[in-house]
Structures are given as structure tokens and as C-alpha cells.
Amino acid sequence: MASRVRIWRVMALALLAGVGTAAGGDGPLRGALGPISLRAHSPATILRLSPTPELALLARPGTFRVAELVSWTNYFDYDPERYVVDAEAVRVATRVAYGVNSRLEVGVELPFSYRWGGVLDATIEGFHRFFSLSNGQRERQPRSQYRVWVKGREGSPDFELRHGRSGWGGEDPILHGRLCLGGCLGEGVAVVAGAMFKPPLQRTHTLYSTGGHDFGFTLSAATATPRLAVHGMVAGMRYHERTPLPIQLNRVQYSLFTAVEYRLSPRTSWLLQGLATSPTAKGFGDFGQWSFEATLGLKRRLGAHWCVEVGLLENLLFYDNSPDVGLHLGVTWRQ
């Protein structure tokens, strides 16, 4: 517990130090492209409400912003006495935001996902062997299998999904709004508060829905110099879910996000970002630990209205509560 608290403090201090450093410049934040729009992808978090990082500037009044986000993640989370998550998932999310006025933005996210055994197992195992890294019992499981197994507790039956339950499924929609608290024109430090709500509209037995009304709040900040931008976000989520999983998931989770953007040119930026999420289930193996995900990405502005982004996601510190590897592609249109 003490080590997790120290990690949280170090990340918070790094975020504050980065914002303080960038705030000394004169460059407007409107020249920044913003973070890679990649939410948490822990296998126990993807079915729950979780914030998507965005630039701390709102859509202009009376205009729309539309983003199409695709992520492809490989999971091998293995605790033979408690759970096995051996799968791949492609998540496609359409995010639409509308600028109500200079301080308020509202929007909706419509996510779908395809979950199956995947094709990346052999590539990942070969990569691990090349660098003499452990495969964490991967070789003992069939390649390209789709299996989600959680051992029952206190007499409840085990929960299991196999190949027959793979395929496309709609996830619960997410309603969101953001309110600018300062720096709304992109000068100095921009601060934005956000709220999000996820109603239960999809199936729970295949883990495309939590079965409850979930809500959360975010506080984002960003600032920039002509070459460097720093983005940060803290979030809290409250869940009222009724999943078929035979474990007690935490009703409250927190997350801390930070990203550093280096601008190669007015149209191109490199990004390095990290996301930490509090434990999903108390005392349940690595799912009782914080998850840490790092992303290296590139964003490119195309013309006056379009922006594309690509990213490579990797887990950190605890490997049985987060994706082994993930690929991300996003396209955004601003009116």
C-alpha cells in the first residue's frame, strides 16, 4: 500500500512540475494538438465508465467535433487460482461534442467492440523470447484462444466466456459534458471540469455492459510553450453495476493522467503519456493493484479541420491487470 501511495505522489508531483515549467512560455495552447485519445484498457476497466483524455479546450460555440477512435489490445492476464483473461479486443468509439457557448461543451460517445482470440499471440511470444523476457505462462495456453474465466467464490459458480461468445457487441453509450473554468482562449493554463454518465443499455452476461448507472467527474489542465505542451487529468468514478462476475468490484475508482507533447512542427507532435487507475477489486490478485499504462504516440494535423493520431500502448509494473500491448488509431474532424 505504501509503495502505491509513493507512486501516486511521484506522478502527481511530476504533473505539477511539468505544468509549472510549461507555464513560463508565451505560446498559446491553441497551437497544441492535445493528448492521444486513449482511455484505460485494463480488462476489468474496459466494461466500466472511464474518461478519455482530450485537449483542455472546448469546441467553439455552435460547432461540432467528431472523433472516430479505434484501439486493438491483446490481453493475457493469468492467475490460475483466480482468473484467466486470454483474448484480443478491437474497440471502435464514435465521440461527438458540440460547443454550446464559450464555456460549455456537451457530447456523446457510442462504443462498439469485437472480442475474440486474436492473432498477436505468436508475435508477442517471439518478441519476448528475442529480448529474453518472460512470457508469463503464455506457452501453456492455446494460441489465439478466447477465454475469460473467473473462479466463483463462497459457493457461487465459475464465470466463463469461450469462443462461442466472441464477436461484435455494442457497449453502453456515454454522455459527457465539459465546463471551462479558466484559460478558455488557450492562453496560460487552461482548466476544464467534466462530468460523464453511462446508462445500462446493453447485455451484461457477455460483459458489454455493467448493468448499472455509472457516473464520473474529471478535472483537466493544460499549458504550452511554442515547443512543449503538458496535459493532465484527475478523475473519479462511481459505479452502480450488477455484472455476472463472481467477485466484488470496487464501487469507486480514481485515475490520474499526464502527457507531454513535443511539437515537431505546427502540424505534428510526438506524445508520451501515462495513465494510472486505482484497483478494480480489493485483494483479487493484480486486480487489487493500481494499473499503469504508457502510450507513445504521434499526432498530425491535416488541413484546417482534420487530425489523425496513432499510438502504441504498453502496460507497466503489474502485468496481470492490464493489456500486454495495444495499438490505437484516431481521426478527428473539427467544424
- Of all residues in the chain, the percent with pLDDT exceeding 70 is 79
Q: Residue 314: pLDDT above 70?
A: yes
How much of the chain, in percent, has pLDDT values that exceed 90? 45
- pLDDT value of position 22: 39
CA distances from 50 to 76, 253, 257 (A): 21, 9, 12
* pLDDT over 50 at 24, yes or no: no
Please name the residue that has the C-alpha cell 453502453: 172
The region of weakest confidence among 193-197, 208-212, 272-276, 318-322 is 318-322
Cα 129 to its chain centre, rounded Å, is 28
- pLDDT digits over 233-270, tens only? 999 999 887 766 777 788 899 999 999 999 999 999 99
Confidence of residue 75 (pLDDT cuts 50, 70, 90): confident
Q: Where are the domains of the chain?
A: 2-334
pLDDT in tens, 274-286: 999 998 877 777 7
- For the cut 60, the answer to whether the pLDDT of residue 2 exceeds it is no
Distance separating alpha carbons of residues 120 and 136, to the nearest angstrom: 15
Architecture category of domain 2-334 in CATH? Beta Barrel (2.40)
pTM of the model: 0.84
pLDDT in tens, 119-156: 776 676 666 666 656 656 666 667 677 888 787 777 66
Given this model, what pLDDT does residue 133 score? Answer: 62
